[in-house]
Structure 1
Amino acid sequence: MQNTDPIWDHVDRHRDDFITLSDRVFDTPETLYAEHKSVAEHKRMLQSQGFTLTENAAGIPTAVVGEAGEGGPVIAILGEYDALPYLSQEPGKAQHQPLEEGGNGHGCGHNLLGAAALLAATALKDWMAENGIKGRVRYYGCPAEEGGAAKTYMVREGLFDDVDAAISWHPATFTGVNEARSLANTRIDFTFHGKAAHAAGAPELGRSALDAVELMNIGVNYLREHMPDAARVHYAYLDAGGVAPNVVQAKATVRQLIRASSLPDLQDLVTRVRNIADGAALMTGTRVTSQVFSGVSNLLGNRPLEETMQRELEKLGPVVFDAADDAFAREIQATLTQADIDTTFKRIGAKPVKGLALCDFIAPLDRHSEGGEGSTDVGDVSWAVPTVQARVATCAIGTPFHTWQTVAQGKAPAAHKGMIYAAKAMAATACRLIEDPSLITAARDTHHDHLEQTPYSCPIPDDVRPPV
């Protein structure tokens, strides 16, 4: 990839420092709202690059915002740095080899995501300063994407109110503009309160909270037949009532994760799940209370921004990998199933290419994807401000995310190449928006049309605070 855009030079000037940042965050994997070492690394980098910091953003200790520039449009670049539990893995090894049994690991590549986003913001800052261009770049260091919905809280607190456009990316097995398809979701903890009793001596005096949880789960199971096809409900026991079977459980808590393709569908499904909880309480003579833990909205697309980013990806061409990258990717693929590998191609509506270990093409903007969808708190940003994201190849085709295989590739040279590429794509997209105000106007008009049809309603109630 030969540099033909001045912004790429600004990215390359800082590449080594930001690869080091990514690797340092990889080495201290921290989960939702506990990313203290990771955010400290990002703060140090922001300060060294001359950004003005806002710490404790939205009242979240592990969130930070860095700003540079003056006047002009405000371009937000979104970064993340949270890891996942139970995914500890030795980097560079193509076999399951935890560094720490039960430890955390960057199973979604957020060490790369945050470093590339901050690198793009730094390059954009330098480009504006060098050319005397008015505009502000704002880096959002966002924790807790994996289940904590930090960006939703940040949107609710007004942190994006003056932003003209938001740009982000995500590590992937292919390169292309991210399709704006995701599921709105909410996590609600249902706690049933019963009455303890001796399970053999006087069971008639007890009212089992655990029975209520089990009946609720049965009710939700029967609901699944009558939900929209894209909807999902998952659950986890947070408190099963203890470990003594000879005691009727007086208290038990289950977390229900409810997903739907749109905010209105989600709100309808939540009502039905709450009715099931009430029914389970009635059947067992218990009382139920609930607490929303988090919530995110579905992604809103923005065609003008997506077309702009697609042009920048095509200008860059695919990520250039070398023979060593290919060899390690093949070692990783040897641990996967053919279904894993085929899924990468299905997600971009392409036929599988036999023997291809690393993505060597740019996915078309208009494609027919197959497969299920997850959720992201970038969705709420996309309701607040016109938003676009890239997917950039950083790992072997077929790599399933949230697995040890993703962690194994998190410090590999291929991952670093994809990270630098992503920074160039984001920074170049931002440059085009600043250079051509009509693009921002078109993006804003498209966004306004969406909200005219379906107004935004934050999926987290006003009285719920971040769980920090």
Structure 2
Amino acid sequence: MRNEDEIWRLVEGRKQEYIGLSDRVWGMPELCYDEHRSCAEHTAMLEAEGFRVTRNVADIPTAVMGEAGEGGPVIAILGEYDALPGLSQEAGVMEPRPVAGETRGHGCGHNLLGSASLLAAAAVKDWLKANGLPGRVRYYGCPAEEGGAAKGFMCRDGAFDDVDIAITWHPAAFAGVMEPLSLANTRIDFSFAGRASHAAAAPHLGRSALDAVELMNVGVNYMREHMPSDARVHYAYLDAGGIAPNVVQATAKVRYLIRARNLQELNGLVARVRKIADGAALMTETAVTTKVVSAVSNLLGNTPLERAMQANLDRLGPPEFDEEDRRIAAGFQATMTEEDIASSWRRVGLEQRAGVSLCDTVVPLDRNGAPMIGSTDVGDVSWKVPTVQARGSTYAIGTPGHSWQLTAQGKLPAAHKGMVHVAKVMAGTAVDALRDPALIAAAKEDHRGRTGGRPYQSPLPADAKPALDMSR
């Protein structure tokens, strides 16, 4: 029996349990750092599988780690299970239809992400035992990827210090190796304090914190012309000072999300935004204080691991979707724009083919596409240890990220098939590393070359703590 056949058989043999886990988590969408029920589901599965379980990783109540095996190299497989606000949607329904009484939804597919990763880890656990080989596999249940930077706190606090390589994935339209491209970012709350007064009788006695926030936003908008083209700045009002227009607002708060290609560029951009905030406070005679909520590094690639993962993809082939899967996916495509669909093909560097609703090919390695560059706290793991990510095909081509359409497809048979497929890819890559010390050595050498041999430096301030209440 070929090596990959054995590990893939182990994945296939227990897939129904993990499809069930994915569907349960889909049905209990929880936001950043509030994933208590979802984490409990993953913890219960780890215990049932016989993993050695560590709770409250990095003092985060919804972070969990399970380890199996003895000695040898440590292979980490990373999972997530946080949802998004405002994306509630009934499963399988091809029009916007929120679930009654629910506002949240798995519009990024993290119900699938965590379940596939845990499935892969469980299969590797059984493979190690069956073959009597040294080595440890760990499943890391990581909360708060959507803005909370939990993996960054976990890295900073030593959760990955003895890991040899890390493997993960993300739901997508196509199957392939994920391009190691992301933007470093930070979220900073700017709180302005002024002086309240009667807005009509004594406006001259007031100092408006809301004016300060608005002036800051104007200043940042003017800055956009003079920053790197691939940098991004977004903001959201957290406190506009109240609902009474006849009172000069004494307090106001805005959260800024600042992104740049790497940490050096990010630090420079953050310094400029801070100066603009100081200027807004000076103009309005208010005071400004800041709090860093989160920060993540940009992704580092790893060529040996990417080639190993691609080899597993090429041997396995694309997910085996059937005609019913493709018919349903075509129905969802009808809710999308032509631009959505074309962008999905362009992102992976493939020529668009009419009438194709689901992935039917494996994206070649090093395909020159136009990937969507967002941010992820996997970036910090990739600076800490050699890391590789798969792209798992779980939804119709053209589905926008963070959309009701993505939520609606999260329990479909196609999503389950894509989830199991990518679990095989990750498990196969892990087994390749466990069987071949040279692969791990090459991955580490590649990592040293990319980091210059410098130890990981967290972008989080030393006194920053996870914003456990950020979703409330």
- TM-score normalized by the length of structure 1: 0.98
Which residue does 1:396 correspond to in 2? 396
Is structure 2 residue 240 aligned with structure 1 residue 240?
Answer: yes
The corresponding residue for 1:369 is 369
Matching of residues 158-197 of structure 1 within 5 Å: 158-197=158-197
2:216 counterpart SS class: helix
Q: Which runs of 5+ in 1 are unaligned?
A: none
- In 2: Cα distance, 1:453 partner to 1:138 partner: 25
The Cα of 1:457 is off from its aligned counterpart by 2.8
For 2:251 and 2:319, the matched residues in 1 are separated by 53
Match of 1:463 in 2: 463
Q: Quick one: which amino acid aligns to residue 161 of structure 2?
A: D
Shift of 1:3: 10
Could you say which residue in structure 2 is the equivalent of 1:425? 425
Distance 1:371 1:47, change over 3 A: closer
Q: Following TM superposition, by how much is the alpha carbon of 1:455 offset from its aligned partner in structure 2, in angstroms?
A: 5.8
Aligned to 2:283: 283
Q: 2:71, 2:457 → 1: CA distance?
A: 30
Alignment match, 1:438: 438
Correspondence list, 1:241-280, <5 A: 241-280=241-280
Q: CA RMSD in A?
A: 1.2
Pick closer, same or farther for the CA change 1:321–1:372 going to 2, 3 Å: closer
CA displacement 1:104-135 (0-9 Å, x = unmatched)? 10000000000000000000000000000100
CA distance in 1, matches of 2:339, 2:100: 29
Match of 2:26 in 1: 26
1:146-161 equivalences in 2 (<5 Å): 146-161=146-161
Deviation at 1:249, TM superposition (A): 0.5
Aligned to 1:408: 408
Structure 1's 341 and 361: CA in aligned 2 closer, same or farther, altered over 3 A?
A: same
* Residue of structure 2 equivalent to 1:141: 141
Mark the CA change 1:324 to 1:42 in structure 2 (over 3 Å): closer, same or farther.
same
In the TM superposition, what whole-angstrom CA distance separates every residue of 1:1-28 from its partner, at most 9, and x where no partner exists?
x996100111011111010000000010
Tell me, yes or no, if the aligned pair for 1:39 and 1:141 is still in contact at 8 Å: yes
How far apart, in 1, do the equivalents of 2:125 and 2:305 lie? 20
CA contact (8 A) 1:303 1:443 kept: yes
1:358/1:395 contact within 8 Å kept: yes
The residue number in structure 1 matching 2:316 is 316
Tell me the alpha carbon deviations over residues 18-66 of structure 1, each in whole angstroms, 9 at most, x when there is no partner: 1000000001000000001100100110000000000011000000000
- CA deviation after TM superposition for structure 1 residue 286, in Å: 0.5
**Do the aligned partners of residues 59 and 459 (structure 1) sit closer, same or farther apart at CA in structure 2, a change above 3 Å counting?**
same
Q: CA deviation at 1:372?
A: 3.8
Amino acid paired to 2:231: A
Distance between the aligned counterparts of 1:94 and 1:33, measured in 2? 30
Q: Which residue of 2 aligns with 1:51?
A: 51
SS in 2 for 1:129: helix
Q: Which 10-residue stretch deviates more, 47-56 or 369-378?
A: 369-378
C-alpha distance in 2, partners of 1:96/1:438?
Answer: 50
Q: How far apart, in 2, do the equivalents of 1:362 and 1:435 lie?
A: 25
Q: Secondary structure at the match of 2:69?
A: strand
* Counterpart residue identity of residue 409, structure 2: Q
Report if aligned partners of 2:179, 2:371 keep a CA contact under 8 Å in 1. Answer: no
Alpha-carbon distance in structure 2 between the residues aligned to 1:40 and 1:100: 24
Tell me if the contact between 1:183 and 1:297 (Cα under 8 Å) persists in the aligned partners: yes
The one-letter code matched in structure 2 to 1:176 is G
Q: Which moved more, 1:243-252 or 1:364-373?
A: 364-373
Distance 2:456 2:225 in 1: 28
Deviation at 1:456, TM superposition (A): 3.7
> After TM superposition, where is structure 1 displaced by more than 3 Å over at least 4 residues in a row?
453-456
Inter-CA distance 463–3: structure 2 relative to 1 (3 Å threshold): closer
For 2:166, the aligned partner's letter is A
Deviation of 1:397 after TM superposition, in Å, equals: 0.2
User: What residue is the counterpart of 1:208 in the other structure?
Assistant: 208
Q: Distance in 2 between matches of 1:101 and 1:284?
A: 42
Q: Percent identity?
A: 63
Q: Which moved more, 1:325-334 or 1:362-371?
A: 362-371
Match of 1:219 in 2: 219
Report the secondary structure of 1:5's partner residue.
helix
Deviations 1:394-437 (A, max 9, x none): 00000011000001100000000000001100000000001110
Distance in structure 1 (CA, Å) of the matches to 2:56 and 2:283: 45
CA contact (8 A) 2:86 2:103 kept: yes
Paired with 1:302 and 1:228, the residues of 2 have a C-alpha distance of 26
Q: Is the 8 A contact 2:348 2:371 kept in 1?
A: no
Work out the CA distance in 1 between the residues paired with 2:50 and 2:79: 18
Q: Quick one: which amino acid aligns to residue 44 of structure 1?
A: A
> Does the 8 Å contact 1:184/1:297 carry over to 2?
yes
Aligned residues: 467
Letter in structure 2 aligned against 1:465:
K
Distance 1:264 1:449, change over 3 A: same
Residue 304 of structure 1 aligns with which residue? Answer: 304
Matched, 1:76 2:76: yes
- Counterpart CA distance in 2 for 1:243 and 1:185 is 32
Distance, in Å, in 2 between the alignment partners of 1:102 and 1:200 is 42
Q: Is the 8 A contact 1:3 1:9 kept in 2?
A: no
Q: Which amino acid aligns with 2:402?
A: H
Partner of 2:132: 132
The corresponding residue for 2:87 is 87
String of CA shifts for 1:141-178, please: whole Å, max 9, x gaps.
Answer: 00000011100000000000000000001110011100
Distance in 1 separating the partners of 2:195 and 2:120: 57
Contact 1:85-1:102 at 8 Å conserved across structures:
no
